[in-house]
Amino acid sequence: MNAPSPFIDPDELRAQFCTALSEMYRSEVPLYGDLVSLVDEVNSEVMDSSPELWEVGDRVRVERHGAIRLGTSSELQTVTRLFRLMGMFPVGYYDLSSSGVPVHATAFRPLSADALSKHPFRIFTSLLRPDLIPDLPLREEVIEILDRREIFHPAVLTILDRAERQDGQLSKEDGKMLVEFGLETFKWHERALVTRETYVRMKRFHPLLADIAGFKGPHINHLTPRVLDIDKVQEMMAERGIPPKDIIEGPPNRSCPILLRQTSFQALTEPILFACASPGETSPGSHRARFGEIESRGCALTKKGHELYQSLMRSAGQPTVDNVKWQSHLSSVFTPSAFPDTWSEIRHSKLAYFTYSLSSSSSSSSSTSASSSTPASHSDETIEELIHQGVVEYTPIVYEDFLPASAAGIFQSNLGNDEHHEQSILSKSDARKEAEARERLERCVGGKIWDYFQLYDKIERDSLEEVRRLTGCKLV
């Protein structure tokens, strides 16, 4: 019998961190706890009434994503090291500057189907782009402020160094300490780093700049439970005293859900303390940044599917502030003839990714063949024929990533529609500068931002190869 490992599994560490982060955020933002309770209630009702729904079960109950906004490359480099120990790696590059938000981002998440099935927690991580601030004195002041701050507890840096000397392995005791002290980075700090005057100048350019550069650390700005009926929760939030944003971001409700739909409650206005010229003195103020989000995840689309989705969204035009009218309009654009709405049509049109497996009726005989290292006798048949016979079945792959336009929509809706800011005067970036920005972000995360299309493609291909191993069928 093998002795238990003295090291903590990254999947377990990720789960522990997610749980601790959720508990912390509920205590800091009680309204988020109310939102989670509402989501749990709706999810239970949906699962009781429709147990055959695609992708339900325990995975829905634990799924969360969070978001943080970082100020410097060095902060992102250390966050990359922290998340790597939790089995989370940078996936996807998101440029939000085209939507008037002075950041670009990546999402740290598990890569493999196995790790995602154990715990799919992810962190959408934005990094400020000071090059987009046209006011040079303000840009220089922001850089100086951010360079002075330290957002990580010294214990975190010590543990990171020790783990990396151990080839990325972390003792269970160190894992416990990493969760405890790692939370310090994500905590809310009511005391601003800057004076009221500096804060106002930052906010006048863009409220996100004030949120990123005005405080001691990158307080987590939202967490997100997954919901099975986002339209129902959107309607019920106001009834429960949870003020919703105007519209649900992303595609409309469909029989076969695609990509990602998101909404949130409006960001809270919270008391803060501004620094004063005299050391130790403060003055009261307020700040608006933290909110609660919900998401409804559909299937991962291929590049062809993404292009079709984006084309239809462009043809839909600008959203209205009336969610019912907007969803109705989207549905009139996303008709089944424009974007197929059965899994069979979606698969045959190569618009989405799927996993393939033996059906329950054929798995027992195939497992016997597999144990003898001899494939079942389907060598003269194609996988399409086996699907038609019911020998093989397919399941949509869940979309684990984000949509830049939707993320920007969530950000903008929580900036305060009645507050003036100068987001329209972001410094313009040409294609060359955009490429350079991406390269800078890639260097911060160790030179590798994973392409999520390639990850989904690998999951699909691996499942096909396993079916071929078990049946001997032809894949073409």
- The model's pLDDT over 379-399, given as tens digits with 9 standing for 90+, comes to 788 999 999 999 999 999 999
Q: Which range (241-250, 361-370, 447-456) has the least confidence?
A: 361-370
Confidence (pLDDT) at 438: 87
With beta carbons less than 8 A apart as the criterion, state whether 8 and 170 touch: yes
- Reply yes or no on whether the pLDDT at 407 is more than 80: no
Q: How many domains does the chain divide into?
A: 3
Residues 324, 472, single domain; the answer is no
- Judged by phi (left if over 0) then psi (alpha if -120 to 50, else beta), residue 439 lies in alpha
Decide if 18 is inside a domain: yes
Six-digit token string for 424: 């329209």
Residues 102, 177, single domain; the answer is yes
Kindly state the average pLDDT of the residues 110-134: 92
d(CA 225, CA 229): 12
Amino acid symbol at 240: R
Decide if 16 is inside a domain: yes
Residues 223, 362, single domain; the answer is no
H-state helical runs in 268-342: 303-316, 323-333
> For residue 120, what are the domain limits?
10-300+399-445
Decide if 313 is inside a domain: yes
Q: Which residue has the tokens 């409220």?
A: 207
Decide if 1 is inside a domain: no
Residues 219, 330, single domain; the answer is no
Confidence (pLDDT) at 424: 45
d(CA 257, CA 250): 11
- Reply yes or no on whether the pLDDT at 96 is more than 90: no
With beta carbons less than 8 A apart as the criterion, state whether 470 and 369 touch: yes
SS3 state of residue 431: helix
Residues 249, 106, single domain; the answer is yes
Confidence (pLDDT) at 332: 96
Residues 72, 212, single domain; the answer is yes
SS3 state of residue 263: strand
d(CA 221, CA 290): 4
Q: Which range (209-213, 242-246, 425-429) has the least confidence?
A: 425-429
d(CA 218, CA 331): 38
Residues 65, 77, single domain; the answer is yes
Average pLDDT, the chain: 87
d(CA 65, CA 234): 18
H-state helical runs in 187-280: 196-205, 207-213, 230-239
Helix axes 154-165, 73-85, angle to 10 degrees: 60
CA neighbor of 208 nearest in space, from 69, 104, 94, 405: 69
With beta carbons less than 8 A apart as the criterion, state whether 96 and 435 touch: no
SS3 state of residue 42: helix
H-state helical runs in 336-451: 343-348, 360-371, 383-389, 404-413, 431-444
- Reply yes or no on whether the pLDDT at 251 is more than 60: yes
Calculate the CA dihedral of residues 319, 402, 408, 433 and round it to 10 degrees.
-120
Decide if 3 is inside a domain: no
Q: Other CB atoms closer than 10 Å to residue 88's CB: what's the count?
A: 25
C-alpha 81, offset from chain centre: 18
Residues 317, 460, single domain; the answer is no
Residues 271, 250, single domain; the answer is yes
Buried b or exposed e, range 302-315, using 16+ CB within 10 angstroms: beebbebbeebbee
Calculate the CA dihedral of residues 344, 349, 352, 355 and round it to 10 degrees.
50
Q: Which range (25-29, 153-157, 377-381, 461-465) has the least confidence?
A: 377-381
Residues 176, 155, single domain; the answer is yes
Residues 249, 372, single domain; the answer is no
- Reply yes or no on whether the pLDDT at 403 is more than 90: no
CA neighbor of 270 nearest in space, from 64, 30, 66: 30
Confidence (pLDDT) at 418: 42
Calculate the CA dihedral of residues 42, 43, 47, 52 and round it to 10 degrees.
120
For 13-65, what is each residue's pLDDT tens digit?
999 999 999 999 999 999 888 998 999 899 888 888 876 666 555 566 665 78
SS3 state of residue 187: coil
Residues 315, 428, single domain; the answer is no
